[in-house]
Structure 1
């Protein structure tokens, strides 16, 4: 008779201890990674304050920020009135777009989703232009409400077009094509509206170039929207993890799919609108922030959102510093730097995903 197979006994307490150790180790690594990102953000803030047309030493920066140095000399005035507000604005805009990118990719299950790629930022810009042109809207706080409406309408239109187009193509490429098509239409409409009015063109062009220089005054108008948006994003981690498994599985786990999808879309649109109202459209920050965060921490959205926010903030800070150091007359807008970095990454991701239907 054949020998009976050996029975391996497993101590459940040993397995529990090992699982607990694995979870605790993973949590520790993620926390250390988060602290590392915070360190990079701090370094970016210091570089943002120190570097520019005139470099300022770290000792002077520390003395000014701690109040140990009188605030009436040239360097102190530059730090307090120009560079600190610029760094703070970069943090707010980068964190908003980074977190918004994570949420959009999770809700659409599309790794190419980004407020700029899907045309949502341009929709916000178009709505702001309508406010400037026909209602005399001025100021970032007023821009926010127009940008919020434009972002929401554009997001709905893109999703409807993508849903209809997905009957003939993959959902991934349909969403990107819908965003690109709507962006082209909105860009043409914006050009049509501003080309006939020199004053409106000058006002819109100054706002829409995607720059941080000279925008410190908008911080007090948009910081509330950014903080509220980031706070509203905190409860999304668990539901987004469930939604990533599919709608049916999420419903089986007790998640109200429609409610959380609507909530997540609202948070993403609020964050995108706040960033766009502050500095104009800045593309690819959400895409780069979300993918960098995913490389660092994996697919757990409870960690992805804070990682994405910090990655977005780091990207804006460092890109803005790089724009100041480019040789030539004047400095580049930060939107140019993010486009130069983000466009090749977008192409690479599109090729790796094989988004072209058979």
Structure 2
């Protein structure tokens, strides 16, 4: 209500204020990522000085410190890429299924990729990087379809609780199948067990380059679907009324997530809980708008995996903890909190 002769005070639109806040969090996450990349290069079982860091970044290998920096550079790159891929994949899966418990690990996608790779190695002597990647993506896709079909059976269709239970059961079954496949093969058992924990140690540019096209495709597909995911969040009927082809949007979004999960699992092994934790934290910061949530989840995933890798190097010196162990220690309590907060009985 305005009074004659008195100008009402101007107010900035709420959307403008919220967008500025979101921009602040996005810029802050970029700065945090840069800081963690620097720490990842400098922190490890061996302390290195700035002179060795600069020389190592330039490619020199004249000292042990420079060699250590040279080894940590691809490890840092792989941790950032893998974390970004899993964080984005988790946000996509939660958006597609409208399931707060969706995660590449909980829904069995990562374990499906893992089983496919293990079968390829044990039964078909698979060795090439391209074969690893294609096999992991195929396994992730088949697992995702299987879990969705099982979770859709019965009254009510694919509810969040049914999908989470189907995914958990599938993960356990696939994990048992992995053990059954590996047991008769003592020659590969050690390497498979180490890979199954999930880690970025031993990364090289030769391991990273083959997976880049698949990750690039997954990132592009997923990030371009933000508006469609916003429409899907309104419900299938309303999204269809707005002109969205619901089935096509879901399928394309799932393809992007599968590419990200499969490619990451092929090079790092199955890393759990990161895709669950990151989107929930980012949603608290920027809300449910996927135009902001997806980029922030991408950056947040990279930050979390880099931080987990750094912590794993420090807490067990002179040995190291793989990032899969660190993310599980963080993610398991978070998963329990999410289940209690969302009142699983009502899902």
Structure 2 CA distance, aligned partners of 1:87 and 1:181? 33
* CA drift at 1:357: 4.8
* CA drift at 1:352: 0.8
The corresponding residue for 1:5 is none
The corresponding residue for 1:209 is 197
- Change in 2 beyond 3 A, CA 1:155/1:333: same
The corresponding residue for 1:199 is 187
* CA drift at 1:296: 1.1
The corresponding residue for 1:41 is 33
Summarize the alignment of residues 174-189 of structure 1 with structure 2, pairs less than 5 Å apart. 174-189=162-177
The corresponding residue for 1:135 is 124
Structure 2: segments with no counterpart, 5+ residues: none
The corresponding residue for 2:251 is 262
Aligned mate of 2:269, from 263, 280, 284: 280
The corresponding residue for 1:52 is 44
2:151 and 2:159 in contact (8 A); partners too: yes
* CA drift at 1:86: 0.4
The corresponding residue for 2:66 is 76
Is 1:144 matched up with 2:136?
no
The corresponding residue for 2:144 is 155
Structure 1 CA distance, aligned partners of 2:156 and 2:91? 27
Structure 2 residue matching 1:152: 3-state secondary structure: helix
Aligned mate of 1:348, from 319, 333, 337: 337
Structure 2 CA distance, aligned partners of 1:263 and 1:170? 18
Is 1:252 matched up with 2:241?
yes
- Change in 2 beyond 3 A, CA 1:195/1:324: same
The aligned length equals: 342
- Change in 2 beyond 3 A, CA 1:341/1:191: same
Q: What is the TM-score normalised by the length of structure 1?
A: 0.90
Structure 2 CA distance, aligned partners of 1:39 and 1:251? 39
2:152 and 2:158 in contact (8 A); partners too: no
The corresponding residue for 1:241 is 230
Give the stretch that moved more between structures: 313-322 or 192-201.
192-201
Structure 1 CA distance, aligned partners of 2:333 and 2:197? 21
The corresponding residue for 1:28 is 20
Greater Rg over alpha carbons, structure: 1
* CA drift at 1:281: 0.3
- Change in 2 beyond 3 A, CA 1:187/1:36: same
1:316 and 1:334 in contact (8 A); partners too: yes
CA RMSD of aligned residues (A): 2.2
Deviations 1:169-220 (A, max 9, x none): 9812111110111111111111111101111323322332211111224111
The corresponding residue for 1:289 is 278
Q: What is the TM-score normalised by the length of structure 2?
A: 0.93
Is 1:112 matched up with 2:101?
yes
* CA drift at 1:309: 0.7
1:44 and 1:314 in contact (8 A); partners too: yes
Structure 1 CA distance, aligned partners of 2:189 and 2:244? 47
Structure 1 CA distance, aligned partners of 2:128 and 2:303? 26
Give the stretch that moved more between structures: 214-223 or 241-250.
214-223
Structure 2 CA distance, aligned partners of 1:18 and 1:265? 41
The corresponding residue for 1:4 is none
